[in-house]
Amino acid sequence: MWPLFASNALLSALSITNLALISSMVAWLLDQKHNVHSYQINWSGDTAQLNVLPKNLWVDQGHESNGVAGYGFFLGIFGMITAWRMRRAGRPLKSLSVLAILQFLAILFTFSALVFVFVVTNRTKGQYIREPVAANSMGTDYAEFEWTPETWMKAVLDLPLADGAKRKQIKDKVTNMAAWRWMLVPLFLVDLIAFGVTLMALLKQRKSAGTGKKSTDNMVEK
């Protein structure tokens, strides 16, 4: 049962890592919104203030990815417990069938999140913050285009930010945002591996149960 335990342990580890990355991003964005409020931009020799977040900001992909990470974490724990119980009991367990169903749902959930996140990111990348629009948005959120937190902050980095320390901080957080987005790929692959291992364990369990039943029937007939 070690393959079953190991695959679910890896799923849980990757999920909690991604959950931490997403939570860190959300906490930082909220801090920027409520405590920093705006960034100072040096445009054409003039200083302007740009609100930290735009008006049209996509956040659904973050919520869905957060759900995938949370689901994967607890699913991995359930899988490890199932593997441990199977090793201790030495007999078929109904929870293995439940685990297979939950892992199949995890595959669908992670795949949908993966597609959604990358589609939204690709849809909003390559945009830039225009000085005339930003100048007319003084005191309000930048209203042009739709953005994800990652694509918005990348556009902010293209601006002449007055604060070098703030630029470094934003750059680090953009790396964080790209990291949790790409982490969905190994999460999906581990979902597939864990499901495959569970199916093999389930088939082996049913085969053993069938062999045992057949042997018992033969003994009864004799």
Confidence label for 216 from pLDDT (cuts 50, 70 and 90): very low
The one-letter code for the residue type at 205 is: Q
What share of the chain in percent tops pLDDT 90?
70
Domain ranges in the chain are 2-210
Q: Is 43 helix (H, G, I), strand (E, B) or coil?
A: strand
12 and 76 in contact (C-beta within 8 Å)? yes
* Residues 6+ away with beta carbon under 8 Å from 141: 51, 53, 54, 55
pLDDT of residue 209: 59
**Residues in the chain, how many?**
222
pLDDT of residue 220: 44
B/e letters for 146-165, b = 16+ CB within 10 Å, e = fewer, are: ebbbbbbbbbbeebebeeee
pLDDT of residue 211: 55
φ/ψ of residue 50, rounded to 5? -115, 125
**Tens-place pLDDT, residues 174-192:** 999 999 999 999 999 999 9
**Tens-place pLDDT, residues 8-48:** 999 999 999 999 999 999 999 999 999 999 999 988 777 88
Mean pLDDT of the chain: 89
Greater model confidence, 209 or 4: 4
pLDDT of residue 86: 81
